[in-house]
Amino acid sequence: MKILLIGSGAREHALARSLAADPATTSLIVAPGNPGTAGIATNVSVDANSPDAVAALAREVAADLVVIGPEAPLVAGVADAVRAAGIAVFGPDGDAATLEGSKAFAKEIMAAAGVPTAMAHVCRAMDEVTAALDAFGPPYVVKDDGLAAGKGVVVTEDRQVALDHAAACVNRDRRASVVIEEFLDGPEISLFCLADGERVVPLAPAQDFKRLADGDAGPNTGGMGAYSPLPWAPEDLVSEVVERVALPTVRELARRGTPFVGLLYCGLALTSRGLRVIEFNARFGDPETQVVLARLESSLATALHAAATGSLDQLPELRWSAGAAVTVVLAAAGYPGEVRRGDVITGVEAAEELPGVHVLHAGTATDDAGALVAAGGRVLSVVGQGADLDAARATAYAGVERIRLDGAQHRTDIAAGLGS
User: Do residues 82 and 58 lie in contact, with contact meaning Cβ atoms separated by under 8 Å?
Assistant: yes
Q: Compare residues 58 and 74 and give the one whose CB is closer to ligand GLY.
A: 74
- Residue 153 interacts, among ligand GLY, ligand AMP, none and using kind-specific CB cut-offs from 5 to 8 Å, with ligand AMP
- Shortest distance (Å) from residue 267 CB to ligand GLY: 7
Q: Is the peptide bond before 138 cis (omega within 30 degrees of 0)?
A: no
Does 109 contact ligand AMP by CB under 6 A?
Answer: no
Residue among 22, 279, 286, 288 that touches ligand AMP (CB under 6 A): 279
- Residue 69 interacts, among ligand AMP, ligand GLY, none and using kind-specific CB cut-offs from 5 to 8 Å, with none
Residue among 57, 78, 82, 278 that touches ligand AMP (CB under 6 A): 278
Q: What are phi and psi of 58, to 5 degrees?
A: -60, -40
Q: Compare residues 199 and 283 and give the one whose CB is closer to ligand GLY.
A: 283
Residues forming a β-bridge with 217:
213
Instruction: Give CB contacts under 8 A, 24+ apart, made by 29-33.
Output: 29/2, 29/3, 29/4, 29/5, 29/61, 29/63, 30/4, 30/5, 30/6, 31/4, 31/5, 31/6, 31/57, 32/8, 33/5, 33/7, 33/8
Does 188 contact ligand AMP by CB under 6 A?
Answer: yes
Instruction: Give CB contacts under 8 A, 24+ apart, made by 256-259.
Output: 258/93, 258/95, 258/96, 259/96, 259/197, 259/198
Beta strands of 197-295 (E only): which ranges?
A: 200-202, 207-208, 211-213, 217-220, 225-228, 261-271, 274-281
Q: Compare residues 142 and 348 and give the one whose CB is closer to ligand AMP.
A: 142
- Residue 118 interacts, among ligand AMP, ligand GLY, none and using kind-specific CB cut-offs from 5 to 8 Å, with ligand AMP
- Shortest distance (Å) from residue 160 CB to ligand GLY: 27
Residue among 267, 336, 384, 399 that touches ligand AMP (CB under 6 A): 267
User: Do residues 166 and 150 lie in contact, with contact meaning Cβ atoms separated by under 8 Å?
Assistant: no
Site mask for ligand GLY (CB under 6 A), range 200-239, x = bound:
--------x--------------x----------------
- Shortest distance (Å) from residue 309 CB to ligand GLY: 25
User: Do residues 304 and 290 lie in contact, with contact meaning Cβ atoms separated by under 8 Å?
Assistant: no
Residue among 285, 363, 377, 386 that touches ligand GLY (CB under 6 A): 285
- Residue 188 interacts, among ligand GLY, ligand AMP, none and using kind-specific CB cut-offs from 5 to 8 Å, with ligand AMP
How far apart, in whole angstroms, are the C-alpha atoms of residue 318 and residue 316?
6
Torsion-angle region of residue 310: left (phi > 0), alpha (psi -120 to 50) or beta?
left
Q: Compare residues 169 and 278 and give the one whose CB is closer to ligand GLY.
A: 278
Q: What are phi and psi of 284, to 5 degrees?
A: -60, 145
Beta strands of 8-51 (E only): which ranges?
A: 27-32, 42-43
First to last CA, the chain: 37
- Shortest distance (Å) from residue 144 CB to ligand AMP: 9
How far apart, in whole angstroms, are the C-alpha atoms of residue 372 and residue 366?
5
3-state class of 105 per DSSP? helix
- Shortest distance (Å) from residue 236 CB to ligand AMP: 23
| Residues near ligand GLY (CB under 6 A), total | 7
Site mask for ligand GLY (CB under 6 A), range 132-161, x = bound:
------------------x-----------
Residue among 31, 141, 193, 201 that touches ligand AMP (CB under 6 A): 141
- Window contacting ligand GLY (CB under 6 A); options: 15-23, 41-49, 60-68, 284-292: 284-292
Q: Which residues bind ligand GLY (CB under 6 A)?
A: 150, 208, 223, 281, 285-286, 288
Q: Which residues bind ligand AMP (CB under 6 A)?
A: 118, 141, 143, 150, 153, 155, 181, 183-184, 188, 210, 220, 267, 278-279
